[in-house]
Amino acid sequence: MEHRAGIEWSAQTSYVARADFNALIDALLNHGYIVVGPTIRDGAIVFGEVQSDRDFPVGATDVQDGGKYRIGEHTAPTLFSFAASPHSLKTYLYPSRSLLYSAHGSSGNFAVDAPAPQTPARYAFIGVRSCDLHAMNLQDKVFLEGAYVDPGYKHRRENAFLIAVNCGKPAGTCFCVSMGTGPKAPPLFDLALTEICDDSGHYFVVECGSAQGSAILACVPHRPAEATELHAAQEVVRGAERAMGRKLDTTDIKELLYRNAESPRWEKVADRCLSCANCTMVCPTCFCSTVEDTTDLTGAHAERWRVWDSCFTIDFSHIHGGSVRKSGSSRYRHWITHKLASWQDQFGASGCVGCGRCVTWCPVGIDITEEIAILRQTETDHETLPEEQGNARD
Amino acid sequence: MLATKDVKQLISEHEFLRGMDPKHIATMSEFAKLKVVHENEYMFRIGEEADCCYLIRDGCIAIEVRHPSRGPVTIQTLGANKVVGWSWLTEPYKWQFDGRALALTRGVCLDSKQLREACEKDHEFGYQLLSRFVPVIADRLEATRIQLLDLYAP
Amino acid sequence: MNSPIADPMLPRPFRIQSVRKETTDTFTFELAHPEEGSQNGFEPGQFNMLYVFGVGEVAISISGDSAEPGKLIHTTRAVGTVTQAMARLKPGQVIGVRGPYGRGWPIDDMQGQDIVVVTGGIGLAPLRPLLYRVLANRGRFGRVVLLYGARTPNDILYKKELERWRGRFDMEVLITVDRSTGGWRGHVGVVTQLISGAPFDPYHATAFICGPEIMMKYSVDALTKRGLPSERVYVSMERNMKCAVGFCGHCQYGPKFVCKDGPVFPFTEVKRLLDIWEV
């Protein structure tokens, strides 16, 4: 995957001045979208509703490393000089809580209530990163492309307007280049922006990916991008490719994980892992859910809610007689093996998009790229005599 | 049926001794006798001298242990073509469980003292016999281990 | 390929026609389709999601006759919150049903073969539809052997039916219990021990197994020892299940989703996984 050809640039790109950025937001609002973009909340850059560029994290950047996230100051008043946030499209397209149905009756009899007539929100997302578009594409495989379709997801997905941003400033935990999922956004967007802020000015090079995209762009002052402007945009992406904070060698990775199912390494990870489930909550492809049943005090009204779940909880694998995956080591192994190996068997693609969120948000800094490197190293250790080994690892 | 065949023939036909050299079959038939155990009759009791190795032709022997409050607990049942008893192989040559017939059971009883002597005298015979016992013992050990897992427990 | 937009998570209410107590903690429901005369076709080995109002939902294999799709039959062991609530339901009351789901036993592909069913505990329930199918088309198969293990004689399911099957001349039924204290006159020992002496031709037989994982693993060992290749063994797996349609992720068994890839698997598909701890 490492050597996959880069995503091509559109034959036609447009120039939109920074000064006209608000016109883009206005166009979306005028088309009836709820506009969601990057905002600062609780010390992190997260998706939130925006009305204008004043809601954006102007001049802000982020500093990310294993178990670490800080907002920092960028050298220029940019709108998108940061990497993956704890939020991804999943937050909106696959909400953490959703009502499956309500029913009324008693234990002896019941009827499912007709669903309330919906006036579902239409969201426009500004600042969707390449890794997140890939992640959305993976969740599509789960919820749209199997024998059964999740109607709620389908609806939200079809009504989403997606404005991608090609990353210019990856974080220390990014490794999308290794996973073949960035930094250049794949053509799943309606519009894609590349932000340029240098001596020549502050502007966006815009690619159009759909008819809706063109319609919105038509409402924003723009002109065809000059060759120098397109070149500057391409340099932004090339710079991001070179600035990846981490890398993960995906060679033969499915087999690597399958043959290491009983590696002693899992115990080492489990010693650190708190089973807090953060990695699964921030992962943009993790799709597991559970169901909660509630009744009101009279017992005559019941609801079933679908809520995000995590394979790190003990109950996740409960069958009569107890949980299948009782040990922390088996749960971590399940997660990483699913992400990097069994996803390929299940959906024909890796379940990891290299966004680095699981590394950043792990309270103890467990690092998916490091674990894979260690598994590989452990295998080669077996082929070397002990005295040839380097320093002993933990 | 049983009466019309001689002991030697019955031994040679038994699955447990399949492929055994005819001369060894002849050796065993010298100290073999027919034995019928009636329904509910004990064939042997725990602590008694293990004087016999029993080749079941048909019927069923239950291996039981007496439980102070639950009465006899059946641990295993052995039917046609199975062999009962290896307590005679190791000291102190005493039965470790009770053996009770659940139905009319017919078979051949080999005298265990003479079996041991024959093994001692003719190591080839001893080897042939033990190489048939070891898989049986291994099989029952495995079964016991699986049973210990209490697979269907609530 | 895609089903219509109908929400796959919505249950249909079925009325409980009868409840039969099988053992101290196991019971069988017969359910009637909400629309009179409607049928709920299924393949042997498939399962339904059963919903108890306000309590929750649980995956239960279908244990009735696929030739009588008007009657929906489920045998359940009351071991969790939902199944214990189910055990309190009475005839006339209503239960939610979604399904049928999953891949069943490939019995129709096995014509001419000896059919060996190895099962333990409540594992007999998902195999009963297979036996119905085989017996209804008896001439198409070779010998039919049912090997069934239970914990104690009191834990044996479908006793009357087993008696009836035992009385047939064209079927061999061997039952064993792990331990017995009372008047049990049958086999005592684990179900795997029945395999060595069971009357089937290992070179022309297919085996169908359902029970605890360890039991299935040792059963395959014993079958292989008899000469039946593991390529002709099918097993039914169990994992936690919330949605049954591939959304919730709970039933993953290595790369398999038990809900849509299983619950019935060719043994060779899961062999690697059965040997690994806590998959």
pLDDT digits (tens, 9 = 90+) for A14-23: 999 999 999 9
Check CB contact under 8 Å for A302 and C54: yes
pLDDT score, position A278: 96
Residue A1, pLDDT > 60, answer: no
pLDDT at A118: 66
Tokens of C237: 């797996």
Instruction: Check whether B4 has a pLDDT greater than 70.
Output: no
Residues C248-257 pLDDT 10s: 999 999 999 9
Residue in A with minimal Cα distance to B154: A321
Residues forming beta bridges with residue A303, ordered by sequence position: A102, A294
- Please report the pLDDT score of residue A114 as a whole number: 77
What pLDDT is attached to residue C30? 96
Of all residues in chain C, the one with the smallest CA distance to A150 is C7
**For residue C37, is pLDDT > 90?**
no
Contact (Cβ atoms closer than 8 angstroms) between residue B60 and residue B102? yes
What average pLDDT does the segment C76-86 reach?
Answer: 94
Chain B residues near residue A319 by CB distance under 8 angstroms: none
Confidence band (pLDDT; 50, 70, 90) for C7?
confident
Given 3-state DSSP classes, what are the helix, strand and coil percentages for chain B, each rounded to the nearest 5?
40, 35, 30
The answer on pLDDT for A119 being more than 70 is no
Sole residue written with tokens 């994982």: C213
* Preceding peptide of C129 cis, ω within 30°: no
Confidence bin at B55 (pLDDT 50/70/90): very high
* Complete DSSP assignment for C130-149: HHHHHHHTGGGSS-EEEEEE
**What whole-number percentage of chain B has pLDDT above 90?**
69
CB-based contact B77 C79, cutoff 8 Å: no
Position A22: which residue type? N
Rounded to whole angstroms, how far apart are CA atoms B55 and B80?
A: 9
Residue C72 has pLDDT above 70, yes or no: yes
User: Residue C209 corresponds to which tokens in the numbers above?
Assistant: 């197994």
Residue C1 pLDDT: 36
- Residues in contact with A95: Cβ distance below 8 Å, sequence separation at least 6, in sequence order: none
CB C219 within 8 A of CB C127: no
Q: What is the pTM of this model?
A: 0.90
Helix (H, G, I), strand (E, B) or coil at A54: helix
Q: Is the dihedral of CA C85, C37, C105, C196 positive or negative?
A: positive
A55: pLDDT strictly greater than 60: yes
Q: Which of residues 228-257 of C touch A (CB under 8 A)?
A: 238-240, 242-243, 245-250, 252, 254-255, 257
What residues 94-153 of chain B have any CB closer than 8 A to a CB of chain A? 153
Which among A110, A151, A290 is the nearest to C13, CB-wise?
A: A110
Q: Provide the pLDDT for residue A3.
A: 42
From chain A, the residues in CB contact with C247 under 8 A are 142-143, 148, 150, 287, 289
Q: How far apart are CA A334 and CA A330, in angstroms?
A: 6
**Shortest distance, CA A300 to any CA of chain C (angstroms):** 9
Interface test with C, best of B102, B141, B151 (most C CBs within 10 A): B151
Which of C7, C8, C104, C93 lies closest to C55, judged by CA?
Answer: C93
pLDDT of residue A189: 97
In this predicted structure, the answer to whether residue A41 has a pLDDT above a threshold of 90 is yes
For residue B149, which residues of chain A lie inside 8 Å, CB to CB?
A: none
Instruction: Grade residue A60 by pLDDT with cuts at 50, 70 and 90.
Output: very high
Question: For A190-226, how does the pLDDT look when each residue is reduced to its tens digit (9 = 90+)?
Answer: 999 999 999 999 999 999 999 999 999 999 999 999 9
Lowest mean per-residue pLDDT among A82-96, A113-127, A230-244, C111-125: A113-127
Can you tell me the mean pLDDT for A314-332?
A: 92
User: Which residues lie below 8 Å from residue A321, measured CB to CB, with a gap of 6+?
Assistant: B153, B154, C79
Paired strand residues for B33: B109
Which sequence spans correspond to the domains of chain A? 13-98+119-242, 253-289+311-390
What whole-number percentage of chain A has pLDDT above 70?
A: 94
pLDDT tier at A279 (50, 70, 90 boundaries)?
A: very high
Q: How does residue A273 score in pLDDT terms, banded at 50, 70 and 90?
A: very high
Which pLDDT does position B32 carry in this prediction?
93
Q: What is the mean pLDDT of residues A12-35?
A: 96
| Other Cβ atoms closer than 10 A to A172 | 18
Record the tokens describing residue B123, joined without a space: 């190591």
Closest CA relative to residue B55, chosen from B28, B26, B84: B84
pLDDT in tens, B37-48: 999 999 999 999
Neighbours of chain A (3+ CB pairs under 8 A): B, C
Distance CA A157, CA A159 (A): 5
Interface check for B77 against chain C (CB to CB < 8 A): the answer is: yes
Phi, psi (degrees; rounded to nearest 5) at B73:
-110, 125
Query: pLDDT digit string (tens) for A140-171?
Result: 999 999 999 999 999 999 999 999 999 999 99
Read off the tokens for C190: 């684990």
Q: In whole angstroms, what is the distance from residue C12 CA to residue A75 CA? A: 60
Mean pLDDT, residues C183-195: 90
How far apart CA A347 and CA C260 sit, in angstroms, is: 13
Q: How is residue C91 written in tokens? A: 């005839």
Q: Of the candidates C151, C190, C197, which has its C-beta nearest B146's C-beta?
A: C190
Under the banding of pLDDT at 50, 70 and 90, the label for residue B154 is: low
Closest CA to B107 of B50, B36, B46, B47: B36
Given a cut of 90, is residue A384 above it in pLDDT? no
B120 CA to chain C: closest CA distance, Å? 32
| CB-based contact C170:B60 (threshold 8 Å) | no
Question: Which amino acid, one-letter code, is at C41?
Answer: G
Q: Chain-wide mean pLDDT for chain C?
A: 93
Find chain B residues with C-beta within 8 A of A320's C-beta. Answer: 154
**A392 pLDDT above the threshold of 70:** no
Cross-chain Cβ contact C242/A327 below 8 Å? no
Confirm or reject contact between A141 and chain C (CB < 8 A): no
Q: Which residues 6+ apart lie within 8 Å of C65 measured at CB? A: C71, C73, C129, C132, C136
Q: Would you place residue C33 in the very low, low, confident or very high pLDDT band (cuts 50, 70, 90)?
A: confident
- What is the least distance, in Å, from the CA of A284 to any CA of chain C? 15
Question: How far is A325 from chain B, CA to nearest CA, in Å?
Answer: 18
Cα B1 to Cα C234: distance, rounded to the nearest angstrom: 41
* Per-residue confidence (pLDDT) for residue C35, from 0 to 100: 75
C205: amino acid identity, one letter: A
Q: Kindly state the tokens that stand for C172.
A: 């061999």
The average confidence (pLDDT) of chain A is 92
Q: Give the C-alpha separation, C161 to B147, whole Å.
A: 26
Closest CA to A13 of A183, A219, A192, A197: A192
pLDDT at A2 over 50: no
| Cross-strand partners of A100 | none
Contact across the interface for C89 and A107, Cβ inside 8 Å: yes
- At residue A393 the predicted structure's pLDDT band, cuts being 50, 70 and 90, is very low
Whether C255 sits inside 8 A of A291 (CB atoms) is no
The answer to whether residue A93 neighbours chain C at the CB level (below 8 Å) is no
